[in-house]
Amino acid sequence: MDFRDSPEEAAFRKEIREWLEANIPADWDRSQLSLIPPEDRVDMLRDWQRRLHEGGWAGISWPKEYGGRGATLIEQAIFNQEVARQKAPPPINVIGLGMAGPTIINHGSHEQKNRYLEKILSAEEIWCQGFSEPGAGSDLAGLRSTAILDGDSWIINGQKVWTSLAHVSQWCIFLARTDTTAPKHKGITYFLVDMSSPGIEVRPLRQITGSADFNEMFFTDVRVPRESILGEVNDGWRIAMTTLLHERGTLGFALSVGARVALDELIGLARETKKNGKPAFEDPTIRQRLASLHVEVESLRLNNYRALTGFMKSGMPGPEGSLSKLIWSESMQRLGDLAVEILGPAGMLERWDANPRVNTWQFIHLRSRGHTIEAGTSEILRNIVAERVLGLPKHK
Amino acid sequence: MDFGFTEEQEALRKSAREFLTDRSTTGLVRDLMASKTGFDEKLWKEMADLGWMGTAIAEEDGGLGLSLIELAILVEEMGRALLPSPFYSSVGLAAPVIAATADGALRKTLLGGIASGELRATVAIPEEEGRWDAAGIKAKATPVDGGYKLSGTKVFVPDAHLADEIVVVARTGKTKDPREGISLFLVPTSDRKVKVKTLDTIDRTRRLALVKIGGVEVPVDRRLGPEGGAWPLLERALDHSATVLAAEATGLATKVLELSRDYAKERTQFDKPIGAFQAISHRIADMLVLTENARSTTYYAAWAIEEGVPDAALAAATAKVAASEAARVVSQGGMQVHGGIGFTWEHDMHLYYRRAKWVEMFLGDPSIWRERVASLFA
């Protein structure tokens, strides 16, 4: 047990720290925007990821042969810590780097790896994820989009929803039913779809924050080449599980660092905001709640260290990632609740020129309402934890 | 960075679990609950023979010179097994306080004695007001020829009836800052002017006592640490002690979680195992979350204190809050999952709940430790 950097890890930390200091764009507003999702600043963030890639910092955990750095998970954790500490911009291609790329590395053919991976790293091609449907949210395997083989191509029909980045994506990882007679987990195939294919319509979905982080997608007789599938026909469910493990598995670390940054800023807000004539930070009930949040955020960080140590031994992310996401989402909501309470009556405002902090915290507060729903609702995550970590009987 | 245990640490855990599963049965716990003192001399000797009391005591002080991490591993197993023993009061509480304050020959005698199990000690902090902070210390030590005369009433002193020595926290000076003017004295329970009365404690295997100190004369060489300046040393030692309690809470929560999980698989209602109902399985999932948080924060605190890193005090406070709340909430949840049977005297669940409540409140309830967390924010 040792939570300090080894000499190699310290050298790695110094390297990324110096690189970030030299390369974060001067016009990047670290105080306001580090906590806000990237959708509105696509060009800037695409440039940023290109710069990251040129510096060798995009997809650092990917194997070297696919353009990554072959970094250990510890190095990845250090990278995430430094990125969060310096409030660097996020890379634009989060689905590509965190989900599509690792799944292609695990299940793709030689040609597919050559075709897609480099362009994910450089952000030349942005990816989105066509999994959820209006009728298949938590019950993902109930999806009804179909793909029918017609000569040398598949014809895809269906509707997807909650698709982040679809409006700026060139490619989509897409699940469709290819055998309607098979049991629902058995007839699904995993597609890699060119978003410029005729018949795809993308409509932005505005959410509670007023911004459009995600979209609806309508596929009408979309024709894609026969070879646009990942793995075997009707084996898509198994492959999709790799994607979701990566979504929750390695995301945990970034989430915990993000929560720490947000909590430190909240402590700053409490020190600088007056409540009944005194700094809110001096109010005993607020101190208790800040301390509880510290316990949660610190638990999240340390649970991730433990999961990481296990991950290093086993080579695959375990179901603990579901646990991290569950804790993180609920903590972020409590953090948002406390922030708007500290703001006092200004917590009723969406934006306020007199105090621009309102804009940021209200965004975080409203945005966090969705954290317990996206990427697996808290209810689904509790099912996963109960069944796969604790071995309790299936709830059906 | 590595959050793993060494092979030696895993072996220690394994042997401790085997020993405690065999020896610290609930049958023993129940016998001791009903007994006059709640103490099993034979079990104490066996643990001493294993060297457990000296785990985190330095070799030059007569211990094994292992670390707080090894001690946490042992104590976690003790929490699982509901070990009835003054181990915490002597090894987890008195030893770090003595290690932080005593020197010379006395240090060797005390720590060597605790390490061998031949001497048992405890620490007396709160008084009738029930405060754990410096302002609550009213017991008075007045200088007399060659030493001090000590008077006061201490309450909630763990295992005082089983201890040879009590470290008494007293006031030697009155100053504006209550943290100043605090001194520690070593008082033998054999002194006629020390009266120990055990209280009807929620956890009958870990009794608290009322200790009346009526003008005990303490020679100057039995003062531990500097006169008037002992509070900061005590506080640091209590961070260590809080981490030991957190380890016990973690073990307890883990055991209750396992019992509840197993019961939810076996117990059938409406023709299904109750664990198939989300009202039950989600509750157990939440119990797992709390238990994981307890384990992670506890071992980090143990490491941070051992290494003396800057956030050690914050880490200890974090662990105390996370683990003690986990133990209480998880054992409450365990009772709920077990239904009516979990509320009966015959079922063991209340034994866990009682221990959890004791651990949660000792050294200060979670609100006190959350306030400490907030006071330590950079």
* Dihedral sign of CA atoms A159, A164, A170, A173 in order: negative
Nearest-5° Cα angle at B1, A66 to B6: 115
Minimal Cα distance from A284: which residue of B? B371
pLDDT band at A249 (very low <50, low <70, confident <90, very high): low
pLDDT digits (tens, 9 = 90+) for B172-222: 988 899 999 999 999 999 999 999 999 999 999 999 999 999 999 999 999
**Rounded to a whole number, what is the distance in Å from the CA of A287 to chain B's nearest CA?**
6
pLDDT, residue A78, reads: 87
* Chain B residues touching residue A9 (CB < 8 angstroms): 1
Complex ipTM: 0.96
Q: Are the C-beta atoms of residues A357 and A268 closer than 8 Å to each other? A: no
Burial class, A27, CB count within 10 angstroms (exposed 0-12 / middle 13-18 / buried 19+): exposed
Chain A within 8 Å of B2 (Cβ-Cβ)? yes
Sign of CA dihedral B155, B158, B161, B164: negative
DSSP B123: E
For B144, the 3-state DSSP assignment is: strand
In this prediction, residue A86 carries a pLDDT of 84
Angstrom distance (rounded) from CA B251 to CA B153 = 33
d(C-alpha B326, C-alpha B324), whole Å: 5
Q: How confident is the model at residue B86 (pLDDT cuts 50, 70, 90)?
A: very high
Mean pLDDT for all residues in chain B: 97
Which amino acid, one-letter code, is at B80?
R
- Tell me how far apart the terminal alpha carbons of chain B are, to the nearest angstrom: 23
DSSP B46-108: HHHHTTGGGTTS-GGGTS----HHHHHHHHHHHHHTT--STHIIIIIIIHHHHHHH--HHHHH
Q: Is 90 exceeded by the pLDDT of residue A333?
A: yes
CB A244, CB A190: distance < 8 Å: no
The dihedrals phi and psi of B259, each to the nearest 5 degrees, come to -60, -40
List chain A residues with CB under 8 Å of B308: none
User: Å from A3 to nearest chain B CA?
Assistant: 4
Least confident of A28-37, A164-173, A380-389, B129-138: A28-37
Answer whether A299 sits within 8 Å of B293, measured CB to CB. Answer: yes
* CB-CB under 8 Å, A74 with B295: no
| B285 close to A (CB below 8 A) | yes
Tell if the CB–CB gap between A3 and B322 is shorter than 8 Å.
Answer: no
Q: Which residue has the tokens 């054992």?
A: B331
Containing H/E element for B169? Answer: strand B165-171
The distance of B277 to chain A (nearest Cα, Å) reads: 6
Residue-level pLDDT at A396: 67
- Helix H or strand E segment including B322: helix B312-338
**Interstrand relation of B165-171 and B121-124 (parallel, antiparallel or unpaired):** parallel
Cα dihedral B246, B247, B250, B256, rounded to 10, equals -110
Q: How far apart are CA A25 and CA B154, in angstroms?
A: 62
pLDDT score recorded for residue B200:
96
Q: Is A172 helix (H, G, I), strand (E, B) or coil?
A: strand
Contacts of A308 in chain B (CB under 8 A): 1, 3
Asked if B373 is an interface residue toward chain A (Cβ–Cβ < 8 A), one would say: yes
CA atoms within 13 A on the CB side of A277: 0
Cα–Cα distances in angstroms (integers) from residue A7 to residues A10, A15, A306, B139, in the given order: 5, 12, 21, 51
Q: Average pLDDT in the B344-367 region?
A: 97
pLDDT > 80? residue A213 = no
- Which of A290, A392, A396 should be substituted to probe chain B, the one whose Cβ sees the most B Cβ atoms within 10 Å? A392
Q: Which of A272, A299, A329, A385 to mutate to test the interface with B (most CBs of B within 10 A)?
A: A299
Q: Answer yes or no: do B292 and A382 touch at CB < 8 A.
A: no
Count CB neighbours of B230 within 10 A. 28
| Closest in B2, B297, B373 to A302, CB measured | B297
When the pLDDT of each residue in chain A is averaged and rounded to a whole number, the result is 90
Q: Which residues of A touch B321 (CB under 8 A)?
A: 291-292, 295
- C-alpha span between A58 and A75 (Å, rounded): 13
CB contact under 8 A, B297 and A295: yes
Radius of gyration from C-alpha coordinates of chain A: 22
Instruction: Name chain B contacts of A287, Cβ cutoff 8 Å.
Output: 370-371, 374
Q: Do B278 and A382 touch (CB under 8 A)?
A: yes
* Percentage of residues in chain A having pLDDT higher than 90: 69
Q: What kind and span of H or E run contains A211?
A: none
Contact B371 A288 (CB under 8 A): yes
How many Å lie between the alpha carbon of B375 and the closest alpha carbon of chain A?
Answer: 9
CA distance A385 to B288: 8
C-beta separation of B87 from B133 below 8 A: no
CB environment A154-187: b (16+ within 10 A), e (fewer): bbbbbbbbbbbbbbbbebbbbbbbbeeeeebeeb
Instruction: Compare CB distances from A395 to B281, B292, B293 and report the shortest one's residue.
Output: B281
Residues of chain A found within 8 Å of residue B288, distances taken between Cβ atoms? 323, 385, 389-390
* DSSP helix/strand/coil, B170: strand
Do residues B80 and B256 lie in contact, with contact meaning Cβ atoms separated by under 8 Å?
no
Locus of tokens 């664990």 = B275
Closest to B329 (Cα-Cα) out of B241, B269, B260, B262: B260
Contacts of B124 (CB under 8 A, 6+ apart): B154, B157, B160, B166, B167, B168, B169, B211
Residue B135 DSSP symbol: G
CA-based nearest distance B311→chain A, Å: 12
Does residue A207 or residue A219 have the better pLDDT?
Answer: A219
Residue B150 · residue B213 · CB < 8 Å: yes
Report the C-alpha gap between B5 and B11 in whole angstroms: 10
Give pLDDT, residue B354. Answer: 97
Smallest CA–CA separation between A389 and chain B, in Å?
9
Instruction: Look at A305 and B69 and tell me if their CB atoms are within 8 Å.
Output: no
Residues β-bridged to residue A47: none
Whole-angstrom distance, CA of residue B104 vs CA of residue A299: 40
Distance in Å, alpha carbon of B270 to nearest chain A alpha carbon? 13
Question: What is the torsional sign of CA A95, A100, A106, A111?
Answer: negative
Across the interface, of A78, A284, A294, the residue whose CB is closest to B373 is A294
The answer to whether the CB of A308 falls within 8 A of the CB of A61 is: no
Do A302 and B275 lie within an 8 Å CB cutoff? no
The verdict on B288 touching A (C-beta cutoff 8 Å) is yes
Map residue A156 onto helix, strand or coil: strand
The upper half-sphere exposure of residue B239, i.e. CA atoms within 13 Å in the direction of its Cβ, equals 25
- pLDDT of B174 reads 86
Nearest to A386 among B282, B297, B371 (CB): B282
Quick one: tokens of B231?
Answer: 């509070």
Mutation to test the A interface, candidates B2, B70, B71, B278, most A Cβ within 10 Å: B2
Q: Which two tokens stand for residue A232?
A: 């075997």
Q: What is the length of chain B? A: 378
Q: What span, in angstroms and rounded, lies between the C-alpha atoms of B297 and A104?
A: 36
- Residue with structure tokens 């994607």? A243
Question: B84 or A83, which is more confident?
Answer: B84
pLDDT by residue (tens digit) across A283-316?
999 999 999 999 999 999 999 888 888 877 776 6
| pLDDT exceeds 90 at position A25 | no
Nearest to A303 among B285, B293, B367 (CB): B293
Interface contact flag, B5 A1, Cβ < 8 Å: yes
How far apart CA A174 and CA A184 sit, in angstroms, is 16
The CA distance from A72 to A60, in Å, is: 8
Q: Give the catalytic positions of A in this structure.
A: 247
Per-residue pLDDT band for A251 (boundaries 50, 70, 90) equals low
Token pair, residue B331, equals 């054992």
Residue A200, classed as helix, strand or coil, is strand
How far apart (Å, rounded) are the C-alpha atoms in residues B132 and B316? 16
CA A206 to chain centre: 19
Q: Among B316, B318, B296, B295, which residue's Cα sits nearest to residue B307?
A: B316
Q: What is the pLDDT of residues B236-295, one digit of tens each?
A: 999 999 999 999 999 999 999 999 999 999 999 999 999 999 999 999 999 999 999 999
Contact status of B318 with chain A (Cβ, < 8 Å) = yes
Identify the helix (H) or strand (E) that includes residue B285: helix B278-307
**Contact at CB, B282 and A379, closer than 8 angstroms:** yes
pLDDT at residue A34, as a whole number: 42
- For B:247-276, CB contacts with A below 8 A are 261, 264-265, 272-273, 275-276
Overall average pLDDT of the A27-32 stretch: 67
- What pLDDT score was predicted for residue A256? 85
Which residues on neighbouring strands pair with residue B184, listed in sequence order?
B169, B224
Query: In 3-state terms, what secondary structure has residue B202?
Result: coil
Q: Do B282 and A389 touch (CB under 8 A)?
A: no
Identify residue B372 by its one-letter amino acid code: R
Residue A47 CA to chain centroid, in angstroms? 20
Q: Which residue in chain A has the smallest CA separation from B263?
A: A392
**Phi and psi at residue B62, to the nearest 5°:** 100, 10
The pLDDT of residue A39 is 55
Per-residue pLDDT tens digits for B96-121: 999 999 999 999 999 999 999 999 99
CA distances from A280 to A275, A286, B370 (A): 5, 7, 16
A308 and B288: CB-CB below 8 Å?
Answer: no
Cα B46 to Cα B51: distance, rounded to the nearest angstrom: 9
Residue A269: Cβ within 10 Å count: 18
Mean pLDDT of B2-13: 94
Q: Distance between CA A386 and CA A396 in Å, rounded?
A: 13
What digits encode the pLDDT tens for the residues A84-95? 778 888 888 989
Q: Which of A13, A269, A294 to mutate to test the interface with B (most CBs of B within 10 A)?
A: A294
Compute the nearest-CA separation of A146 from chain B (Å): 32
- How many whole angstroms separate alpha carbon A61 and alpha carbon B106? 55
What was the pLDDT predicted at A250? Answer: 57
What would the pLDDT profile of A265-277 be if each residue is shown by its tens digit?
A: 999 999 999 999 9
Cβ contact A392–B265 (<8 Å): yes
Q: Mutate which of B274, B281, B360, B371 to disrupt the A interface (most A C-beta within 10 Å)?
A: B281
Distance from CA of A248 to the nearest CA of B (A): 16
Q: Do B367 and A288 touch (CB under 8 A)?
A: yes
| B165 alpha carbon, distance to own chain's centre | 17
Counts of helices then strands in chain B (DSSP H, E): 12, 10
The pLDDT tens digits of the residues spanning A112-135 come to 999 999 999 999 999 999 999 999
